[in-house]
């Protein structure tokens, strides 16, 4: 069984995907409202799966809302 490596996103990619500024993202990480990135060399990356899981956790209840 092979496992596919997750797609890695740079901070700018994460900010664009979530429509946030870098400063806002950093604040969310500092306040533990968003998962921290992983430093590889001189850059910080997030796994696309981590971002997807965070979005599901944050918006799952909203998406399942039925008036």
Distance CA 67, CA 54 (A): 24
The reply to whether 3 falls in a domain is no
Q: What pLDDT does residue 2 have?
A: 57
Q: Count the domains in the chain.
A: 1
67 occurs within a structural domain: no
- pLDDT tens series, the chain, 67 aa: 557 888 999 999 999 999 999 999 999 999 999 999 999 999 999 999 999 999 999 998 888 888 8
Does some domain include residue 12?
yes
Q: Which domain holds residue 33?
A: 8-60
Q: What is the CATH number of the domain that holds 36?
A: 1.10.1660
- Determine the pLDDT at residue 50: 96
What CA–CA distance (Å, rounded) separates 38 from 46?
A: 6
């Amino acid at each position: 069984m092979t496992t596919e490596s997750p797609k890695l996103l740079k901070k700018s990619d994460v900010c664009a995907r979530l429509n946030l500024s870098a400063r806002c993202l950093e604040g969310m990480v500092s306040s533990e409202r968003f998962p921290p990135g992983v430093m590889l060399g001189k850059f910080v990356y997030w796994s696309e799966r981590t971002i997807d899981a965070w979005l599901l956790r944050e918006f799952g209840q909203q998406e399942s809302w039925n008036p």
